Amino acid sequence: MLSRLQELRKEEETLLRVKAALHDQLTRLKVEELALQSMIRSREEDAAVPAAAAAESQETLGQMDNEAAINQTELQLSLQDHEEEEEEEEESDS
C-alpha cells in the first residue's frame, strides 16, 4: 500500500514536470505565432518590399523554425528522460 502511494506520488511529480514543459513550449509557440502574424501584417502593409528586406525576413523565419525545432527536440528528450526514470524506478521497486 505504501509503495503504491510512493509510486503514485512519483507519477504525479513526473506529470507535473511534463505539464510545465508543455506549458513552456505552448508559451514559446504563442510568442512565435504573434511574431509571424506581425511579420505577415507588416508585409501586407508594405507590398513593395525591397529584395534585401525580403531576404532578411526569410532568414528570420528560418531562424524561428530552427528555434522551434530545437525547443521541440528538447521537450522530446526531456519526456524520454522522465519515462526512462519511471521505468527504472518501477524495475527497482519490483
C-beta neighbour count of 14 within 10 angstroms: 16
Confidence class of residue 19 from pLDDT cuts 50, 70 and 90? very high
Q: Is the pTM of this model over 0.85?
A: no
CA separation, residue 81 to residues 13, 36, 40, 92 (Å) = 14, 32, 38, 16
Domain residue spans of the chain: 1-47
Gap between the Cα atoms of 94 and 89, Å rounded:
9
Per residue in 25-73, pLDDT (tens digit) is 999 999 999 999 999 999 888 875 555 566 666 677 677 677 777 778 8
How many other CB atoms are there within 10 angstroms of residue 82's CB atom?
Answer: 16
